[in-house]
Amino acid sequence: MEFSDTYKHSGPCCFSPDARFLAVAVDYRLVIRDVVSLKVVQLYSCLDKISYVEWAPDSEYLLCGLFKRAIVQAWSVSQSEWTCKIDEGSIGIVHARWSPDSRHILTTSEFQLRLTVWSLVSTACVHVPWPKHATKALSFSKDGKYIAIGTRRDCRDYVHLLACQGWEAMGNFEVGTTDLADLEWSPNDSTIAVWDSPLEYKVLVYSPDGRCLFKYAAYENALGVKSATWSPCGQFLGVGSYDQVVRVLNHLTWKPAAEFSHPAQIRPPSTTIVFKEVDEPWRTDLESIYAKGLPCDSLRRVFYKVVEVPVTIPSYKPPVDKPNPKQGIGLLAWSADSQYFFTKNDNMPNALWIWDVVRLELLALLLQKDPIRSAAWDPIYPRIAVCTGTSQLYLWTPTGACCVQIPLAGFYASELKWIPDGTALLLKDKEAFCCTFVPMLPEFEPDDENENEKENGSL
């Protein structure tokens, strides 16, 4: 793997959807870099420190949220002289996002008084009163034609539907939640999943016309749903709970197809492959390490060791007298092919659990020395990248796992992001970032001979 030099940042960094550019916030400046060379392509000066950055889906425009000043500024990559400023005045702005057509910006005001749709083509705007949340409870259908917004009025929760073509109201129906936490369109746009706040375990599935297709509650009188997400294929809805169990709901029967628990010990006859991070002193000449100016971590060799079961997973019991306990499934993410998903149980912060949906079993377990800061799936291949705030980058694939030393002095990766085409990773330290270019998995590399035969029509 090749690593770039480090560059300064002060907050958000994100790749463009077409994988050509990287937007970096440096105080009040927005720096646009070429992904391959990392050379500066555009430089914009905003009116205040940048709190949030988001690319338009067509990679032509990007917005900057200056939420301390309650302002949103938008810029064009190809037309450096084009700019846009959105100011809601005294009502304020706490969040902004793009619409799927890349020509409208949606902003949420302070105290969730209203959500406003701003057109970059005309001066028209549309208001939706009383959105439930600033950053959640809003989902676009995958075809980009409709938007579902969670709203609340008269102490009741509703889902408000708009058509993105013209932003006309398509419907408004009440949902059976006590305090709606979030919602999400299914990947095939046939249903909308809604779940309640952690105070009550409740998952509801609605059709776009407002019919409740299914209600699910795993238990009562305890903290409920902590995370939920659809699989990319749309056949499963994964629900992570405070009871440290993931329930996978089938889209045909809407009943749990499987339940995956997170025990404190993995025991026989489990076939789970456990990768434990260990380190030991280098047995080579240390002068070369000092000469290269590598971090002190380089004095020790860090690698994964496959350990046999039984294995005990370090866990922490959250205090009962404090709110928001660090317990339950706080991280749940699916692979691009929907065959795998990983979870992190918040009271076991050093462990990443990787599940096989086809075999309905725990496929692998990564035991880190330090708490996991960030983990993400490759957008294309079944590959996971993990960082723990150290000078190591960890990678897992169905064929194995490895630890990669980051050859940058004083750089400790605490956050990572994949480029949309899966060829590179963005690694962030507290004040700097770097990019690493990840090779294609050998099992997914095309066979040149077979490709030639296919072109010649022999296969």
For residue 310, cis peptide bond before it (omega within 30 degrees of 0): yes
Instruction: Give the least confident one: 106-110, 291-295, 310-314.
Output: 291-295
**Which backbone phi and psi does 76 adopt, to 5 degrees?**
-110, 135
What are the contacts of 136-143 at 24+ separation with CB within 8 A? Answer: 136/181, 136/182, 137/180, 137/181, 137/182, 137/183, 138/97, 138/106, 138/183, 139/183, 139/184, 139/185, 139/192, 140/99, 140/100, 140/164, 140/185, 141/185, 141/189, 142/185, 142/187, 142/188, 142/189, 143/189
Confidence of residue 158 (pLDDT cuts 50, 70, 90): very high
Closest by CA position to 43, among listed 24, 16, 15: 24
**Which backbone phi and psi does 281 adopt, to 5 degrees?**
-65, 145
| 63 part of a folded domain | yes
pTM for this entry? 0.91
Q: In this model, does residue 172 exceed pLDDT 50?
A: yes
Average pLDDT over residues 239-254: 94
**Reduced to 3 states, what is the DSSP secondary structure of residue 299?**
helix
Task: Give the pLDDT confidence score for residue 200 in this predicted structure.
Answer: 93
Task: Give the pLDDT confidence score for residue 324 in this predicted structure.
Answer: 78
Confidence of residue 293 (pLDDT cuts 50, 70, 90): low
Percent pLDDT > 90 in the chain is: 83
Confidence of residue 368 (pLDDT cuts 50, 70, 90): very high
Q: In this model, does residue 240 exceed pLDDT 70?
A: yes
Tens-place pLDDT, residues 107-149: 999 999 999 999 999 878 999 999 999 999 999 999 999 999 9
Average pLDDT over residues 338-352: 97
Q: In this model, does residue 261 exceed pLDDT 90?
A: yes
Task: Give the pLDDT confidence score for residue 301 in this predicted structure.
Answer: 85
| 53 part of a folded domain | yes
Task: Give the pLDDT confidence score for residue 123 in this predicted structure.
Answer: 78
Task: Give the pLDDT confidence score for residue 438 in this predicted structure.
Answer: 87
| 62 part of a folded domain | yes
Average pLDDT over residues 46-71: 96
Q: In this model, does residue 454 exceed pLDDT 70?
A: no
**Which backbone phi and psi does 347 adopt, to 5 degrees?**
-90, 10
Closest by CA position to 55, among listed 79, 11, 24: 24
The boundaries of the domain holding residue 50 are: 1-129
Amino acid at 390: T
Task: Give the pLDDT confidence score for residue 91 in this predicted structure.
Answer: 92
| 56 part of a folded domain | yes
Q: In this model, does residue 242 exceed pLDDT 50?
A: yes
Task: Give the pLDDT confidence score for residue 441 in this predicted structure.
Answer: 63
Confidence of residue 286 (pLDDT cuts 50, 70, 90): low
Tokens of 95: 């969040």
Percent pLDDT > 70 in the chain is: 92
Amino acid at 378: D
| 47 part of a folded domain | yes
Average pLDDT over residues 319-347: 92
Tens-place pLDDT, residues 403-428: 999 999 999 999 999 999 999 999 99
| 393 part of a folded domain | no
| 81 part of a folded domain | yes
Average pLDDT over residues 202-229: 95
Q: How far apart are CA 366 and CA 131, in angstroms?
A: 39
CB contact at 8 A, 94 and 77: no
Interacting residues of 419 by C-beta distance below 8 A, sequence separation 6+ = 15, 19, 35, 379, 425, 426
| 86 part of a folded domain | yes
Q: In this model, does residue 192 exceed pLDDT 80?
A: yes
Average pLDDT in the chain: 91
Task: Give the pLDDT confidence score for residue 282 in this predicted structure.
Answer: 64
Q: In this model, does residue 287 exceed pLDDT 80?
A: no
Task: Give the pLDDT confidence score for residue 116 in this predicted structure.
Answer: 97
DSSP at 452: H
The strand pairing partners of 108, in sequence order, are: 95, 115
Average pLDDT over residues 288-312: 74
Domain count, the chain: 1
CATH of the domain at 53: 2.130.10.10
